[in-house]
Structure 1
Amino acid sequence: MPADFWAGYLSGAAGILIGNPLDLVKTRLQAGTAVSGPDDASSARNFRSNFDRAGTLVRGATAPILGYGALNAILFVTYNRCLTHFGDDPAVPNNLWKVWCAGAIGGLATFVVSAPTELVKCRAQVSTGATSSWSIARDTWMREGIRGLYYGGGITSIRDAVGYGFYFWSYELSKQAMTTTEDTDRQAALKVLLCGGLAGVVTWASIFPLDVVKTRVQIQAVDGPSPAVLEEWSRLLQSEPEPVRAEKFRRLGTFQTARQTYQNEGLAIFFRGLGVCSIRAFVVNAVQWAVYEWMMRLLKQE
């Protein structure tokens, strides 16, 4: 395997280990009333309520640790190869448009891993029971097959393509603006952390509404939501006076989910959790880029 594969894999796994607690809060804030009854609507917005017990801190982390490492490996390998194909040097790129395009292609290539990983992670994180990532993946496979694991894959692939385009673009832009040939090793390392953190914040700010819709599409259960949620939806939509039955429920597509979310909760819902996500993004991506750059230098020396 090439050096960028292992550097990407290890940096991705490190990022998940550090950022999972805040990612859990972000997912639950995005889900909102989609997974809670009317009596629990306020708790969906409460930061502390998302950490109901110690195990919650690592809930949903298994799938991302395994999957995101592979995702990051695919991402960096594809990005480097595309940028080379475009006639630019991945180590010191000169054309930021080519950087964005290579990043977008890399993000699109991660679809095969990111779609099922995100689905399992989101469902595990919004689960109120002791449901593991493995049991969710197994149940989804048995009930719906491979198609079920890729539910919401369309919006996921768009989110990843746009997001990773801005990810590499913002990293290289800030790196070129900050670094000089006179930097010491310590200064260079600190600037990598800062540039990586800024890249993470820019990325999530550019795709957060898409991520909200993706989360809500993927957390829809096969048999529909709980009766309490169905009654709440019926009240909000003012559709049927009698309680809506589960057998009437059909999972919504991306555009239907976006429209219903806007009608029920307004424009603000598409940015709920952005603050938590920005903090997480800065920390996680600062670490990821530092690990990636360090591993690349180490592996190339060997």
Structure 2
Amino acid sequence: MSADFWAGYLSGAAGILIGNPLDLIKTRLQASKLSPGVEPTAPSSQGLKGHFDRAGTLVRGATAPILTYGALNAILFVTYNRTLSLLSPSPSPQLNPSTPYLPLDYAKIFSAGAAAGLATFLVSAPTELIKCRTQISTSASTTSFSIARDIWRAEGLRGLYYGGGITSIRDAVGYGFYFWSYEWAKQAFTSAEDSDRQAAVKIMLCGGFAGVVTWASIFPMDVVKTRVQTQVLHPQGIGEEAALLQSEHHRIAASRRLSTFEIARQAYQTEGGRVFFRGLGICSVRAFIVNAVQWAVYEWMMKLLQQP
């Protein structure tokens, strides 16, 4: 395997281990539904205690990403580097140690990142589905394996790719911005005169910046994706009284899964535009920390593996 494959694999696994507790909170905030006119409130200490009353709760949903996100990240970086070298076959005079054919052409960087995001679809779609459904579950017996098994038994392979359309669009747009913002920040803030310590700190800052930019660019899509993939866990009970009060739209929604557009429209109609940014704060904190570490590990591994 190539150096960028292993560097991507190990950096991806490191990112998941560090970021899963905050990702759990983000997913639950995105999937929660409010009644019309109800303002979201910060979770109280008792509420947090109820949701995270065991140490194991903080790593809920981590199994699937740990097993697969390393592979996803490896595919991401390998595809990005290969696509970028195809778009720019001549070496650039200003080389990046992790991408030896990198020109300072941000349109090509974005395009290569988007292509890499699409290439991760085979891994990211089922991983996101299993992770989100595991994280949103409050049952102590629910695991990533049990979620995957139940989906496979009920719906087969197709079920594992439920919500795959919005996931692939999110990944293509998100990873386009991801590589674009990282390379822009690296070009703007690093120099050949930096010491090893200065370079390491700046790489972490550039990686954190790229993570925040990426999630800010795709967060509304991610909210919709989360609700699409977890809606099966939120059946709407239709008793006699509820049936009288609910609209025809809500009665239909209770009996079948909604499409991506229906989910987005219903969220906007019932909770307003702010719903598409619920959880962005905690997500930005997580994105900065995870991607700072992830890029530092990737760059360090690339240097280590490329030594003669």
Partners of 1:268 and 1:200 lie apart in 2 by 21
Q: Does 1:129 align with 2:139?
A: yes
* Alignment match, 2:96: none
Whether contact under 8 Å (1:31, 1:216) holds in the other structure is yes
Q: Does 1:94 align with 2:100?
A: no
Q: Secondary structure at the match of 1:100?
A: helix
* Alignment match, 1:84: 85
Question: What is the TM-score of this pair, normalised by structure 2?
Answer: 0.88
Partners of 1:94 and 1:235 lie apart in 2 by 59
Partner AA of 1:112 in structure 2:
L
RMSD: 2.6
Point out where structure 2 has 5 or more consecutive residues left out of the alignment. 92-98
Q: Does 1:251 align with 2:261?
A: no
Equivalent pairs, count: 292
Whether contact under 8 Å (1:106, 1:164) holds in the other structure is yes
TM-superposed CA distance for 1:235, in Å, is: 7.8
TM-superposed CA distance for 1:43, in Å, is: 8.0
Structure 1 segments, 4+ long, off by >4 Å, are 41-47, 234-237, 243-246
Partners of 1:149 and 1:107 lie apart in 2 by 18
Q: Trace 1:29-178 onto structure 2 (pairs within 5 A).
A: 29-33=29-33, 45=43, 48-49=48-49, 50-87=51-88, 89=91, 90-91=99-100, 92-130=102-140, 131-178=142-189
TM-superposed CA distance for 1:52, in Å, is: 2.9
* Alignment match, 1:28: 28
Question: What is the TM-score of this pair, normalised by structure 1?
Answer: 0.90
**1:91-123 C-alpha deviation (Å, 9 max, x unpaired):** 443111100000000000000000000000000
TM-superposed CA distance for 1:54, in Å, is: 1.5
> Which one of the candidate residues 256, 273, 277 is aligned to 1:271?
277
Whether contact under 8 Å (1:237, 1:264) holds in the other structure is no
- Taking a change above 3 Å as real, the CA distance of residues 204 and 109 of structure 1, as seen in their structure-2 partners, is same
**1:18-52 C-alpha deviation (Å, 9 max, x unpaired):** 00000000000000128xx99xx968955725423
TM-superposed CA distance for 1:227, in Å, is: 5.0
Q: Secondary structure at the match of 1:128?
A: coil
TM-superposed CA distance for 1:244, in Å, is: 5.5
> Which one of the candidate residues 188, 196, 212 is aligned to 1:201?
212
Whether contact under 8 Å (1:32, 1:45) holds in the other structure is no
Partners of 1:2 and 1:249 lie apart in 2 by 49
* Alignment match, 2:7: 7
Q: Trace 1:212-251 onto structure 2 (pairs within 5 A).
A: 212-221=223-232, 225-226=234-235, 228=237, 238-239=246-247, 249-251=255-257
* Alignment match, 1:289: 295
TM-superposed CA distance for 1:273, in Å, is: 0.3
Partners of 1:136 and 1:160 lie apart in 2 by 23
Partners of 2:125 and 2:244 lie apart in 1 by 30
Partners of 2:298 and 2:169 lie apart in 1 by 25
- Taking a change above 3 Å as real, the CA distance of residues 45 and 152 of structure 1, as seen in their structure-2 partners, is farther
Partners of 1:235 and 1:278 lie apart in 2 by 40
Q: Secondary structure at the match of 2:88?
A: coil
TM-superposed CA distance for 1:238, in Å, is: 3.1
Partner AA of 1:10 in structure 2:
L
Identity %: 70
- Taking a change above 3 Å as real, the CA distance of residues 236 and 13 of structure 1, as seen in their structure-2 partners, is farther
